[in-house]
Structure 1
Amino acid sequence: MPQDIDPRLLRAFTTTAEELHFTRAAARLYVAQQALSRDVRRLERELGVELFLRTTRQVTLTPDGERLLPYARRVLAAQDELLAACAGGAPPLLVDLNTEGMVSGRVLARARELAPRHELMARFQSGLTGAAAEILAGRLDVSFGYAGGLAPVLRDALSHQLVRYEPLAVLLPADHPLARLPEVPLGALAGESVYAGAGNPGTVEWTGLARRLFAGRSIEVAAPAPMAVGAEEFRRVMAKHRNPVLAVVDFPVMPDTVLRPLVDPVPLSPLSLVWRKGLRHPGVEALRAAAAELGAEEGWLDPDPRDLLLPLSLH
């Protein structure tokens, strides 16, 4: 039995144990699969035990692997804490809120209260698909959005926690005929072209959700258009094209527009907290705790059963 074990070998083992797939584990660690397999075999030799059962179809933990896993995680957590302490604390956590004034901002505010010694910095991307690519590139740490709509290659590299079933809404020009209604029945949008980010590579998940929602209802997804940046440009584009915009009920109202909830049925979009697999940071734990706390207080995950006449029950 060796006196010292290289933490790199333990990280290779724990990541493979979490994925039960050598290719995905190697991608998470940004190493070649051959290098990962070599590290796992070296750890097995040093410990004198077999940690995984490997077949052409699956990878599973052996009983020795199951016993080692909690100890390996504790060792790696202690190492992370040591490195953070030597570096003067955890680095700032970059949190993408997508848009100001939404549920994500409330979660961030509560997380800052739960972790006052750590810096949680807000960022604003145009959509979760774009944010996910930034997370995997290391330029963002956390985002919010419809995780079920991400491409598998992105989703498989991320962890996520469901935060809220968000009621959907429509943003209308103030003089649109539907603007006089307090709520807009989904069927009333028949014949309309509704903007849902089509053509924007950063919002693919949102456009896909809209297509599922509108299917069979004679509602079109508006043709691709450059994304309007800033309130004045948004107002100008809305006035010119007059397309309703698919949004959520907490979306900030823009100039010369009204926001109306969609009903009959009430469509719900599953909003998730999303972060890079393997990311260890007190801010992530604070965000997860804040989301769970606010969700329990306000029933974010307990929609009225009468509203579950939904085309969307997506995770």
Structure 2
Amino acid sequence: MRDGQVDLDLAQVRAFVAAADALNFSRAAAHLHLTQQALSKRVQRLEHALGGPLFSRGGRSVELTDAGRRFLPEARRLLVLAESAAATARNGNAHLRVDVWGQLHAPLRMVGRVLDADEGLEVEPSMRRGLAAATAALLRSEVDAAFGRVHDLGTPWPRSLRHALVHLDALGVLVRAEHPLAGTSLRPADLEGTTLWAPATRDAPEYSGYIRRFADSFGARVDATGTNLGIDRVIMQLGERTNMMTLVPADIPVPAGSGCRVVPLVDPVPRYPWSVVWRRDDADPALARFLRCLLAVGRADRRFDARRDWLPEIDRTPQP
């Protein structure tokens, strides 16, 4: 330490994070392919550099001290920044980890537009298929940004996360071609008394919440049985539920010869709100570039016209 400055060793920080995650030095050492003695020495040197214990050690149990709990999120961010800086030095690109929800949804296409507009960015996508899982990954610094609807999550919004609306997705209904409502378009009011099939997704309560609010607004019923295993499986199951339909993005691709079609909803057009979410204290310049470009390329995609569009009331109010 010189003049109050601390020179942190990233290997020691990585050892601390592994031990904090496992709360077991033996398992943490195995994860890093170290001996337990080597990992313990790295943690001890880090504690010496920081001027106090990060763990309380008693017998076989290990717990974080107050200082350790305060240092853990900063240690995670330090490792993320180090990885990003190394990737930039290697290939000249700024590397980000972004959760895009699912392969057929708007966020993946939006990320593609960002990369077309800024070739200096490099994105590693993941698909957790729900904002609940994605925010947990954000809080653990496993991803840098994520997409999702920020309402109906069932838990208070984490104060350490920020978000911004980036896209309003037009929706339609996926039905069998022989369904009596399989025309060129439908009004949401035409769905009164019908059943919307919406298999519950544990990690996406925000999506299930949107469908419940839509159904309540237009007099439809919701069948939440079954499991959503992707568009091909949904099409197959609709073949066994010929009187049902499911809410989908209006532009979702339907395989030729599937016997199903997407009927756009109009007058009003229901819109599904996608927001980008990131950590409030993330100062990575690559993330700032990504967010600026994302908001620029999606400017026209988030315009809401109350005369022709529909959103749940909760989504029209200021977001948490």
Shorter-chain TM-score tier? 0.5 to 0.7
**C-alpha separation between the residues in 2 aligned to 1:310 and 1:161?**
16
- Kindly indicate whether the alpha-carbon contact (under 8 Å) linking 2:210 and 2:312 is maintained by their aligned counterparts in 1: no
1:142 alignment counterpart: 145
**1:95, distance to aligned residue in structure 2 (A):** 2.0
Q: Does 1:105 align with 2:137?
A: no
- Kindly indicate whether the alpha-carbon contact (under 8 Å) linking 1:115 and 1:283 is maintained by their aligned counterparts in 2: no
Task: Give the partner amino acid of 1:241.
Answer: R
Taking the TM superposition and a 5 Å limit, the aligned residue runs for 1:1-315 are: 3-4=3-4, 35=67, 85=85, 89=89, 92-153=95-156, 155-180=158-183, 182-198=184-200, 200-215=201-216, 217-229=218-230, 231=232, 233-242=233-242, 243-254=244-255, 255-296=258-299, 299-308=300-309, 310-312=311-313, 314=315, 315=319
- Kindly indicate whether the alpha-carbon contact (under 8 Å) linking 1:159 and 1:274 is maintained by their aligned counterparts in 2: yes
**C-alpha separation between the residues in 1 aligned to 2:109 and 2:143?**
19
Helix, strand or coil at the partner of 1:168? strand
**C-alpha separation between the residues in 2 aligned to 1:38 and 1:171?**
49
Structure 1's unaligned 5+ residue stretches are 9-30, 40-76
**C-alpha separation between the residues in 1 aligned to 2:295 and 2:191?**
34
**1:121, distance to aligned residue in structure 2 (A):** 1.6
**C-alpha separation between the residues in 2 aligned to 1:138 and 1:80?**
7
- Kindly indicate whether the alpha-carbon contact (under 8 Å) linking 1:161 and 1:288 is maintained by their aligned counterparts in 2: no
Give CA-to-partner distance per residue, 1:133-156, whole Å, 9 cap, x none: 333344433222211232344543
Helix, strand or coil at the partner of 1:184? coil
- Kindly indicate whether the alpha-carbon contact (under 8 Å) linking 1:265 and 1:310 is maintained by their aligned counterparts in 2: no
**1:7, distance to aligned residue in structure 2 (A):** 9.5
Structure 2's unaligned 5+ residue stretches are 9-62, 72-76
TM-score by length of 2: 0.64
**C-alpha separation between the residues in 1 aligned to 2:295 and 2:306?**
21
Helix, strand or coil at the partner of 1:215? helix
Calculate percent identity across the aligned residue pairs: 25
Helix, strand or coil at the partner of 2:298? helix
RMSD of equivalent CA atoms: 3.6
- Kindly indicate whether the alpha-carbon contact (under 8 Å) linking 2:84 and 2:95 is maintained by their aligned counterparts in 1: no
- Kindly indicate whether the alpha-carbon contact (under 8 Å) linking 1:167 and 1:268 is maintained by their aligned counterparts in 2: yes
Give CA-to-partner distance per residue, 1:53-97, whole Å, 9 cap, x none: xxxxxxxxxxxxxxxxxxxxxxxx999978854676488422222
Distance change (3 Å), C-alpha of 1:205 and 1:265: same
Distance change (3 Å), C-alpha of 1:290 and 1:172: farther
**C-alpha separation between the residues in 2 aligned to 1:79 and 1:270?**
32
- Kindly indicate whether the alpha-carbon contact (under 8 Å) linking 2:151 and 2:314 is maintained by their aligned counterparts in 1: no
How many aligned residue pairs are there?
250
Distance change (3 Å), C-alpha of 1:93 and 1:78: closer
TM-score by length of 1: 0.65
Helix, strand or coil at the partner of 1:250? coil
Helix, strand or coil at the partner of 1:237? helix
